[in-house]
Structure 1
Amino acid sequence: MQDFLIGLYPWTKAFHIMSVIAWMAGIFYLPRLFVYHAEQSVAGDSHDEIFQTMELKLFRVIMNPAMIATWIFGLMLIFTPGIVDWSAIWPYTKGAGILTMTWFHHWLGYRRKDFLKGQNTLSGRHYRLINEVPTVLMVIIVLSVVVRF
């Protein structure tokens, strides 16, 4: 199995990077949609329906598959011999960043359901602020992997 993973390493790494890019694009864009949804729509109006459709497609068609692919290829990289130095700090900081990013992804999913039910209580300003969370997490994750502190 280890030889198999070593042989697949360049492909696994490439697909991991591509899935991370797709996931991050969605994670950056969905809170921005929530800003506009909260500020320019009222539950049940025509804008509400359009925003709900956009949010559903982004979440289910792009973000969920990209998150799953990111996890699958990331776990494949973890199990590839010689890739992770478990005596260093970086795998743990990266792991904490990824777990937090996954939690944030699901939190966004719950907020989407609030809009769907007409029960959103958060303001556009709140969503603007929360939109900075994935940026901070991305910095932690990328620095962990590249600098390997």
Structure 2
Amino acid sequence: MARYRQTGNGPTYIQYQAEDSKARNQRVNYLLGDLKTWRDSHKVNSTMEAAQLRGLAFASLADFTKPEPFWTIDNKIYAHVLTVSDEVFKELLNTSRAEVIWISLEKVLFENWHASRERQKWNDVFVSVLSGMVKSCEIEQERHILNDIL
């Protein structure tokens, strides 16, 4: 959420500043209604749609190295922050064992997950892109071979 505040891409928030404090990191609160409104604007039907909506079409390996926000519970990956339901999101906000970490997709696939079903979605996107890149590379190599022959 701190990154979203920095870039201005997250939900609106309230920042309290103590009169005698000069610190840069002041207390921040979010209204539940603002969080729901922001989340509703990010609803999608698939992991790929989520990536496309956020400008991450996962077209190259570099796309997988960019940090993404994932929920963790007890140091196990639970889900991507933007892909959990409203009820789960609210529950996680109130759980002291849950936190958001920023980690790349290539690294998160090697972490411990709470459920293989949730990991499977991200695994499928990763494997699909890699497979597409392999096919493209093979086609390009064939084109070069044909050019050399002709």
**TM-score, with structure 2 as normaliser:** 0.32
Higher relative contact order (CA 8 A, sep 6+): 1
The structure where strand makes up a greater share of residues is 2
